[in-house]
Amino acid sequence: MGRSDPSQKAQPRDPLLLIGTQHGLQVAERGTFQFGVAALFGRALALQGRLSEAINELLPHDIHLLAVTTAPERFHARHAAVSRSYVYQIATRRTAFAKRYVWWIKRPLDPDRMALAAARLPGRHDFTLFCERPAEQTSTLVVVERAEIARAEGLILVRLAASHFLWKMVRRIVGTLVEIGAGRLDPDALAGLLAGDPLAKSAGTPAEWTAPPSGLFLERVLYPGDPPLGPLEPLVPVREEPVPEPIRLAERPDVARRPAAAPPRPGAGRDRRDQRGAPGRTQPAGRPRR
C-alpha cells in the first residue's frame, strides 16, 4: 500500500513479505497469514469509512481492510510497535478445508509436555540456534513476553509474543515443541538450546525441525494504547473428529400402523378346490356333473 508509480510492477521480495509503507514496513515471512496488521498511508485521511470501502473494492479476495484511522506524522509502522504476537496451529487430525492453515501431525502429541517446555521461553534469551543466518542479524537477543499452549478441539495452538522476532524463529520453536510433545526430546532440552548448548548430532537441531509456514499466523502488532491480547483461540477452527453413530432406517408411519398379515392356514388352497363340489352348489346348465 502507499504511493507508488502505477506504471511499474511491484517486484517480489522473497523470502519476506512487506506489509506497511513509507515510514516503516511490517515484515513477515512469505506464506505467513496475518490478522490485525497496520498499513500506513502517506497523507492524513478524510472520509475514512468511504475510503476503506473504496480500498476494499480494489484489494484481492484474501486481503480485507478492517478500519482506517489517523496517526501522528512521525508514526512508524514497525518501530512504533511495542509487541508482536504469532499463533501457530497444529492439527491433530486430517482436515480438508483447513489444510492451508494448519500443520497436521500424524503422531500423537502431549500438550502438557509442550506447555512444560514453553514455560522456559519467557524472558531475555539468545535465539542463535533458532534463527536463520544468525551472523547477518544485528542481535540474536529477543525478549519473549509470553508463550502459551492450548488445546482447541482438533488443534494444538502455540502463541508467542515478543518485542520482535528473528527469521524462522517461531517456526523452529514450534518444531522443537513438537519434538518434545512427541516424546523425542525432554522438556528440559529447550532450556539447554536457549542457553546455546546444541544437542548431540543424533538428536537433531532446531533447523531440522523447522515447522512449515502453513500453520503460522501473525496475530497482532500492538502499539501504545492498544488493548492487550485476548484468550488464545483458533484463528481457523478445526472441530474434533466426530465418532459416527450406527445408521438406523426410519420406519414410515403408515407401515408402522398397518397390522401384519396372518400366515396362510395349511390346506387353505385345497379347501377352495373342494368347495366346487360341495352340496347345494349350482352347476352351469348343459354341463355334466363330474
**What secondary structure, in 3-state letters, does the chain show?**
CCCCCCCCCCCCCCCEEECCCCCCCCEEECCCEECCCCCCCCCCCCCHHHHHHHHHHHCCCCCCCCCCCCCCCCCCCCCCCCEEEEEEEEECCCCCCCHHHCEECCCCCCHHHHHHHHCCCCEEEECHHHCCCHHHCCCCEEEEEEEEEEEECCEEEEEEEECCCCCCHHHHHHHHHHHHHCCCCCCCHHHHHHCCCCCCCCCCCCCCCCCCHHHEEEEEEECCCCCCCCCCCCCCCCCCCCCCCCCCCCCCHHHHHCCCCCCCCCCHHHHHHHHHHCCCCCCCCCCCCC
Mean pLDDT of 159-181: 96
Give a yes or no: residue 59 inside a domain: no
Mean pLDDT of 96-123: 96
Give a yes or no: residue 34 inside a domain: no
Quick: pLDDT tens for 201-250.
888 999 999 999 999 999 999 999 899 999 999 999 999 988 888 888 88
pLDDT attached to residue 277: 56
Give a yes or no: residue 230 inside a domain: no
| Position 8 pLDDT exceeds 90 | no
Give a yes or no: residue 244 inside a domain: no
pLDDT attached to residue 272: 59
Q: Which of 15-24, 126-135, 272-281 has the lowest mean pLDDT?
A: 15-24
Percent of the chain with pLDDT over 90: 51
Mean pLDDT of 162-182: 96
CATH number of the domain where residue 198 is located: 3.30.70.660
Mean pLDDT of 158-181: 97
Q: How confident is the model at residue 168 (pLDDT cuts 50, 70, 90)?
A: very high
Q: How many domains does the chain have?
A: 1
Mean pLDDT of 254-265: 65
Give a yes or no: residue 2 inside a domain: no
Give a yes or no: residue 181 inside a domain: yes
Quick: pLDDT tens for 13-72.
333 333 443 343 444 565 666 665 655 555 544 555 678 888 889 989 888 888 887 888
